[in-house]
Amino acid sequence: MQCSQCHANAVLKLPNSAVSLCRKHFNIYFEKKVRKTIRVYHMIGKQDKVGVAISGGKDSMTLLYVLNNLFKRTKVKLIALAIDEGIKGYRDPEFRFVNEFCKKLDIELKTYSYKKEFGKTLDEITEKDKETIPCTYCGVFRRKILNEKALELGVNKLATGHNLDDESQAILMNQFRKNVRASAIMGPVTGVVDDPKFVRRIKPLYFLTEKEVATFAFLNGILDKFVECPNAELGYRASVRDMLNDFDERYPGTKYNIVSSFLAMLPALKSQQPKEKIKSCSLCGAASSKDVCQACVLLNRVNTFFVHH
């Protein structure tokens, strides 16, 4: 297989395309696509302070690497935020690889943990509560920490490594669950209303597939190993992911079409959502759409389990 640009050995045939690219031209294509997504969706301003949520995985580390390439000679400031959930055998509690990576790029790294913020690791929580899948706790707690710490750091944009596969899965999950409000706040730039209590989230890898991200990470030496969260197969998303992968293999373009059709409907979804006033959680003071935020609801559940079990 030869590169469509220069006839060197190709490393990847682009999804839903006859184009194949060598390492050099694939890297150019990848960064150009990220740059275009940022520009079209007005993700990053000239003097923004951007927090990049990193886990040590291929998506977030690739995101940090590319954003650094694009903005290192500008006034845009990048800061990395990493969270240790407390999952045995998954996250390096010392973030050795992440630390080395950030030092190499000369990017400040801030680390946090569920243990320090909530008093319990995710493993300790799920050991007590065997009825609730770990992802239920993890997603809510992670979002809470990222938003609160981003505000403390003066970050005005929070970038996450969600790719096209992630988004197509989330779109279907919301459809299957009839969760219209959750769908309305999705997209390359999340949210319906601006509020100083929330840091706007952006997804620069939105139009790149998981395979493309993994290829970029491998070609540029961004990952030394790949470790998937041991809880990943327990969640609802895993079933949707497997179904979509099977569908996309048999009917190429399925994931692209799901995301494209969703984006066409997104403005209407957003316009139909009531402009609710953002409240403050009565327990922790964090921004919430309800009197008590979901994180505090789950923390109360956790405390009940530890008291009575």
Write the pLDDT tens digit of every residue in 65-75. Answer: 999 999 999 99
Question: Is the pLDDT score of 309 beyond 70?
Answer: no
> Where in the sequence is the domain holding 165, given as residue range(s)?
23-278
Residue 296 within a domain: no
What does the pLDDT read at residue 193?
Answer: 66
Residue 169 within a domain: yes
Q: DSSP per residue over 102-158, as a string? A: HHHHT-EEEEEEHHHHHSS-HHHHHHH--SS-HHHHHHHHHHHHHHHHHHHTT-SEE
Domain CATH for 215: 3.40.50.620
Residue 229 within a domain: yes
Question: Which residues pair with residue 80 across a beta bridge?
Answer: 52, 109
The total domain count for the chain is 1
What pTM did the predictor assign? 0.92
Residue 286 within a domain: no
Q: What is the pLDDT of residues 173-184, one digit of tens each?
A: 999 999 998 899
Residue 135 within a domain: yes
What does the pLDDT read at residue 146?
Answer: 95
| Summary mean pLDDT of the chain | 90
E strand spans, 205-272: none
Residue 291 within a domain: no
Q: What is the pLDDT of residues 237-295, one digit of tens each?
A: 889 999 999 999 999 999 999 999 999 999 999 888 877 777 888 998 887 878 899 99
Residue 214 within a domain: yes
Residue 27 within a domain: yes
